[in-house]
Amino acid sequence: MKDVLAEQLLAKVLAWEPNDIARERPILQAMAALKYDEYEQFSPGLRFLESLALWLDQFEPADRQVAYRFVKSSLVFCSAGEMDHLVDTAYQDHIRPILLARSARENNVSVRQVGRIASSAAFRSLQRQTLFLGLSDGARIDTFRRANPDLNHEQIWQTHELSVGRVQKLLEKLAKHLSEIDGGTGASAKFSTIVLLDDFSASGTSYYAKGDNEPPGGKIATFLQALADEKGALRPLCSPNGVEIIILIYMATEQAIQYLRSSLADSATLGITAVHVDTVQLVPSQVRIARGATEPEFVRLVEKYYDDAVHNVIFDVNFKKGGTPDGKYGYAGCGLPVVLHHNTPNNSLAILWFYERCDLRGLFPRVQRHREMT
């Protein structure tokens, strides 16, 4: 009954004739059932069709069809199942090949002999000397751990912020397991590779923020600085021969990957021999809606429905760090039409995620993680 009422409201809002309803109903029902109803930030009792009707109703009649066509043709929604699939394939498709190639190189074996390399004690030791750390809750470490039974649970940890005690336990377990693999004592066991995992990045600046006259900030920059600190808690993790860093984001834009690769390439850090930056699912630049673009026509709505009241709520001290004059095109002007099942990134077009306390509502309202204290 609720779906029927929502469809009736949509038909009224969009001025549909019976043949329009017959054509669009199965499309809407499929979008809702297969993906959009699982958005976790809808208000209690609200689902996609109701949200879509309410969102469209606040626009002028001439703009509603434009907004509806945009949702059907251009919206990118990553469901929980799709994100789990990205997590499941992250190690096998993106990290393991790097370790196989390194083992082949260090042991003078052809990289084509994958079976021989993978079954060798040298590779199994190298694999065990790889530490996996989450950059945020989005790293889905529990899912990653279950998807990779070849890895030991003691080499996977949910956060990159490690205490002295945790570092010691990681090294103790590493020594024990290495001795079981190669028969040695494992007395000087250290990690030769550290993998940093996270779910999504649009700009990359929260990981590595360049400062004019000060050291870089952000999660990755801070972590690398901690690794290089000879007296720091993290330094004992690292092999004396240096450590490779692999940064793997399950879903990321071209902008974020290029920014991180160039920023980290320009930043040499003591004890780090190489830095790899990659993503499981690349969000191509073509999906972006850039400021000032003449197409698509949805740009007109992005500009038109961002008023002072919305601006005052959205554009706080944290948003200003993105370097844009407003929040119309999301943080850092990324202009993404992207929605994640658990929340909408603030790098996406603001018209999609206006906070519930805004006068205008978003189609997929965003829950704000950082708010300026007043």
Quick: pLDDT tens for 45-92: 899 999 999 999 999 999 999 999 999 999 999 999 999 999 999 999
Of 1-5, 56-60, 138-142, 234-238, the one with minimum mean pLDDT is: 1-5
**Is residue 117 classed as helix, strand or coil in its secondary structure?**
helix
The maximal CA–CA distance of the chain, rounded, in angstroms, is: 78
Mean pLDDT score of the chain: 91
Q: How confident is the model at residue 1 (pLDDT cuts 50, 70, 90)?
A: very low
Residue 374 has pLDDT above 60, yes or no: no
Q: How confident is the model at residue 344 (pLDDT cuts 50, 70, 90)?
A: very high
- Who has greater pLDDT, 216 or 192? 192
Region 254-271 average pLDDT: 88
Q: How confident is the model at residue 297 (pLDDT cuts 50, 70, 90)?
A: confident
Of 99-103, 137-141, 154-158, 321-325, the one with minimum mean pLDDT is: 321-325
Residue 368 has pLDDT above 70, yes or no: yes
Angle, CA 114 vertex, CA 113 and CA 120 arms, to 5°: 95
Verify cis geometry, omega within 30 degrees of 0, for the bond prior to 296: yes
**Residue 248, H or E segment:** strand 243-253
pLDDT at 187: 60
Report the amino acid identity of residue 207.
Y
What pTM value is reported for the model?
0.92
Q: How confident is the model at residue 40 (pLDDT cuts 50, 70, 90)?
A: very high
Residue 261 has pLDDT above 90, yes or no: yes
- Who has greater pLDDT, 94 or 10? 94
Residue 140 has pLDDT above 80, yes or no: yes
**Residue 83, H or E segment:** helix 80-90
Residue of 212, 196, 335, 204 whose CA lies nearest to 263: 204
- Look at the block and give the residue holding tokens 């950059």: 135
Residue 295 has pLDDT above 70, yes or no: no
Q: How far apart are CA 145 and CA 184, in angstroms?
A: 27
Q: How confident is the model at residue 294 (pLDDT cuts 50, 70, 90)?
A: low
Residue 276: burial class (beta carbons within 10 Å; 0-12, 13-18, 19+)? middle
Q: How far apart are CA 55 and CA 74, in angstroms?
A: 16
